[in-house]
């Protein structure tokens, strides 16, 4: 979302991006778009003084009107450095909900605990999901103001493509009449690939004309839970894998259905909005705001309910092609009306301009 936001730009807003570590996956794209990117080269774990002082020096040099931080470690570093430098307005950003901190370093849990205590000090805590706000309230966050702006999607980049299905099936060596269910997610406990695999096996038992495509960093056929399932019925020959790919916007419209099996941690899952923008119906677990985003254009099931996920997939796969296409068109319309990138950029622009001139304490996106 940050890449989309800075790439789109807004009237009178100049973005400078500071990464706590290196350029990551998006630094080069930001630089190519003319965005200034600085890297603090901080090692993973607790924020360390050298990185903090580099951030202080950068802020003194850049002299920003607003410092918006993204994710927990940046929230902590940004608050300390921003207050030392005297940045006029500081915004924290929450992009998750119901995190299982046992799956991460202890330092991450400690940072989040500290942030709850410090939450009255930023000017605004901005979330991309209502679930994220509710979850962090239970964690003890008590900010001056909460804000909500959802993720946004470029409908020119993510769009239907009538030729995509035939092209993708040819690439995978599938018959042209086979249906294809996709899961686009990095390999991580949060994404709960095991639930998806169990559901896929149930679908495969009933529908021999359905195949499954898994795309994402670390999604390798030799890894459990894929290694055993791919070699025996009912999933033998039915599973297809792609490592992290830059051509997902071209792959997505080739799917008949997109599944999200995440168990926790999601706020606003980007992959749902991307699929819906491509007119691909979604079946999701009820994690974060996923069910609310999909609305009546897809189906949601409880977290961890593999049989429920399988039934939901079978329900949508049983629709004739015309009905499924109409459902996908409704999904794209929903993104256009509620989650287009231009709408979201306009929301950020209004927020930034208001906060720069803030005198009455009222935040336009506050909830």
pLDDT digits (tens, 9 = 90+) for 33-54: 888 999 998 877 666 788 899 9
Q: Is the pLDDT of residue 15 over 70?
A: yes
Compute the average pLDDT of residues 299-304. Answer: 98
Residue 325 pLDDT level (bands cut at 50, 70, 90): very high
CATH of domain 164-338: 3.40.50.2000
Q: ω before 128 within 30° of 0 (cis)?
A: no
Q: Identify whether the C-beta of residue 259 lies closer than 8 Å to the C-beta of residue 309.
A: yes
Q: What is the pLDDT of residue 230?
A: 87
Compute the average pLDDT of residues 107-123. Answer: 95
Q: What is the pLDDT of residue 362?
A: 63
d(CA 21, CA 280): 35
Query: pLDDT by residue (tens digit) across 218-274?
Result: 999 999 899 988 888 999 999 999 987 789 999 999 999 999 999 999 999 999 999
329-346 burial by CB neighbour count: b if 16+ within 10 A, else e?
ebbbebbeeebbbebbbb
Apex 251 CA angle, 336 and 164, nearest 5: 85
Centre a 10 Å sphere on the Cβ of residue 220 and count the other Cβ atoms it contains.
Answer: 13
355 exposed, middle or buried (CB, 10 Å; 0-12, 13-18, 19+)? buried
Q: What is the pLDDT of residue 235?
A: 96
Q: Is the pLDDT of residue 366 over 90?
A: no
Nearest 5°: phi and psi at 340?
A: -70, 150
**Most confident segment among 99-113, 194-208, 218-232:** 194-208
Compute the average pLDDT of residues 312-327. Answer: 98
Centre a 10 Å sphere on the Cβ of residue 3 and count the other Cβ atoms it contains.
Answer: 15
pTM: 0.93
d(CA 214, CA 191): 12
> HSE of 110 in the Cβ direction (CA atoms, 13 Å)?
6
CATH of domain 2-152+341-356: 3.40.50.2000
Give me Rg for the CA atoms of the chain: 21
Q: Look-up: residue for tokens 């419209």? A: 253
d(CA 353, CA 11): 10
Query: pLDDT by residue (tens digit) across 137-150?
Result: 999 999 999 999 99
Q: Give the distance between the most distant pair of CA atoms in the chain.
A: 66
Q: Look-up: residue for tokens 């994710």? A: 71
Residue 100 pLDDT level (bands cut at 50, 70, 90): very high
Compute the average pLDDT of residues 191-195. Answer: 97
**3-class DSSP string for the chain:** CHHHHHHHCECCECCEEEECCCCCCCHHHHHHCCCEEEECCCCCCCCCHHHHHHHHHHHHHHCCCEEEEECHHHHHHHHHHHHHHCCCEEEEEECEECCCHHHCCHHHHHHHHHHHHHCCCCCEEEECCHHHHHHHHHCCCCCCCEEECCCCECCCCCCCCCCHHHHHHHHHCCCCCCEEEEEECCCCHHHCHHHHHHHHHHHHHHCCCEEEEEECCCCCCCCCCHHHHCCCCCCCCCEEEECCCCCHHHHHHHCCEEEECCCCEECCCHHHHHHHHCCCCEEEECCCCHHHHHHHHCEEECCCCHHHHHHHHHHHHCCCHHHHHHHHHHHHHHHHHHCEHHHHHHHHHHHHHHHHCCCCCCCCCEC
Kindly report, as residue ranges, where domains of CATH 3.40.50.2000 are found in the chain. 2-152+341-356, 164-338
Mean pLDDT of the chain: 93
* 110's tokens: 């400690």
């Amino acid at each position: 979302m940050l890449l989309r936001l800075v790439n789109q730009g807004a009237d009178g807003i100049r973005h400078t991006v500071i990464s706590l570590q290196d350029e990551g996956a998006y630094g080069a794209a930001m630089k190519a778009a003319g965005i200034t990117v600085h890297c603090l080269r901080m090692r993973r774990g607790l924020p360390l003084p050298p990185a903090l002082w580099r951030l202080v020096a950068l802020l003194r040099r850049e002299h920003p009107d607003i410092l918006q931080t993204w994710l927990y470690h940046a929230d902590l570093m940004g608050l300390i450095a921003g207050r030392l430098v005297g940045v006029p307005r500081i915004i924290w950003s929450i992009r998750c909900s119901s995190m299982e901190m046992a799956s991460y370093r202890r330092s991450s849990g400690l940072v989040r605990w500290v942030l709850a205590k410090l939450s009255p000090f930023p000017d605004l805590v901005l979330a991309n999901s209502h679930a994220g706000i509710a979850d962090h309230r239970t964690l003890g966050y008590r900010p001056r103001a909460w804000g909500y702006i959802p993720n946004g999607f470029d409908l020119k980049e993510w769009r239907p493509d009538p030729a995509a299905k035939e092209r993708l099936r040819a690439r995978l060596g599938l018959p042209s009449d086979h249906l294809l269910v996709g899961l686009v997610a990095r390999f991580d406990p949060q994404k709960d690939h095991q639930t998806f695999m169990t559901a896929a096996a149930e679908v495969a038992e009933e529908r021999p004309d359905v195949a499954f495509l898994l795309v994402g960093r670390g999604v390798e056929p030799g890894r459990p839970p894929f290694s055993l399932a791919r070699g025996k019925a009912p999933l033998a020959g039915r599973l297809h894998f792609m490592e992290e790919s830059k051509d997902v916007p071209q792959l997505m419209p080739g799917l008949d259905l997109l599944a999200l099996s995440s168990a926790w941690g999601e706020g606003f899952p980007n992959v749902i909005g991307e699929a819906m923008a491509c007119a691909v119906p979604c079946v999701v677990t009820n994690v974060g705001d996923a069910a609310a985003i999909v609305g009546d254009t897809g189906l949601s099931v409880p977290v961890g309910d593999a049989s429920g996920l399988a039934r939901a997939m079978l329900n949508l796969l049983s629709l004739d092609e015309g009905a499924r296409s109409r459902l996908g068109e409704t999904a794209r319309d929903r993104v256009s009306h509620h989650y287009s990138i231009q709408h979201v950029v306009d929301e950020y622009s209004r927020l930034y301009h208001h906060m720069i001139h803030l005198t009455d304490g009222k935040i336009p996106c506050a909830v």
